[in-house]
Structure 1
């Protein structure tokens, strides 16, 4: 095999590994799941949904073989410092030309009745069902509990408006704070 063929294949692999997944006008970006303990019964996935189209869409369901049940969930403030996790009825709106963050402490994909532990470094196949874009298969990496913060850096660098999710990002560490924003 020629060097140029190997080099071209390597470049193509790098580009494909860093590209967001597109489905019609919907882009799924920065998807990750947090690793679980061997006895955990639940897990969660977080990601950014972006709608580049002119028509609103809605994430209405998710499914995966990694759990007996998969639901769209959110956290609601019940007052007195108590938060309750509940299923989202009617799905998650993804406005035309906008985005919706599925993140810790807010909207997320909940996996109940895990069939195996979520192990760092492995990947989980999840099917997302959109009202207009239809079914989209996403391969989501399982990361340690401290990874998966890249969307926070992007949200901060783009100075997204309050309410778009960036305010819920974990505080920057000193080493992250000192890194220049490109």
Structure 2
């Protein structure tokens, strides 16, 4: 009887520890943040997002920055410009890249320099078509300033 209870508790604990991954609405692949130099006020965060249902990336947070914005790089005439966007559409089942030269997260008002090899905690904020918001935590590796886009 006692061993049955113990097995049941162990099984429940195993299920609960796996639950956050199972509940994740978005697969987050290869998250990384570009390293910085001293006094650099901002940097970019990059990753590949694949939503299990239609969602929008509407924001993010990180303890290392005063605020975080969703940005895109786009041509305006002959000039490449960066601008903040309200949301990034994540169609169900389609991978959306956040990469240098395209969509990305800007971490603004950095509280410390970021060195290659460090980990940065990010909280991604999503919104479904009904306007309900959800959050997902990720750990992003800090890569060197010269890191390639992939």
Q: Report the TM-score when normalising by structure 1.
A: 0.64
What's 2:116 paired with? 120
Which of 101, 106, 123 is the matching residue for 2:102?
106
Higher RCO (C-alpha 8 Å, min separation 6): 2
* CA distance 1:23–1:44, shift in 2 (3 Å): farther
For 1:141 and 1:23, the matched residues in 2 are separated by: 23
What's 2:85 paired with? 88
Computing the radius of gyration from Cα coordinates, the structure with the larger value is 2
For 2:54 and 2:100, the matched residues in 1 are separated by: 24
What stretches of structure 1 move > 4 A for 4+ residues in a row? none
RMSD: 1.7
Question: Does structure 2 conserve the Cα–Cα contact (< 8 Å) formed by 1:50 and 1:94?
Answer: yes
The answer for unaligned runs of 5 or more in structure 1 is 1-20, 153-182
1:83, distance to aligned residue in structure 2 (A): 1.3
1:84, distance to aligned residue in structure 2 (A): 1.3
1:128-143, aligned counterparts within 5 Å? 128-132=124-128, 134-143=134-143
1:147, distance to aligned residue in structure 2 (A): 3.5
The answer for unaligned runs of 5 or more in structure 2 is 1-20
Question: Does structure 2 conserve the Cα–Cα contact (< 8 Å) formed by 1:71 and 1:109?
Answer: yes
Question: Does structure 2 conserve the Cα–Cα contact (< 8 Å) formed by 1:30 and 1:148?
Answer: no
For 1:23 and 1:99, the matched residues in 2 are separated by: 18
For 1:29 and 1:76, the matched residues in 2 are separated by: 23
1:7-26, aligned counterparts within 5 Å? 23-26=23-26
* CA distance 1:35–1:22, shift in 2 (3 Å): farther
SS where residue 37 of structure 2 aligns?
A: coil
What's 2:77 paired with? 79
For 2:80 and 2:148, the matched residues in 1 are separated by: 23
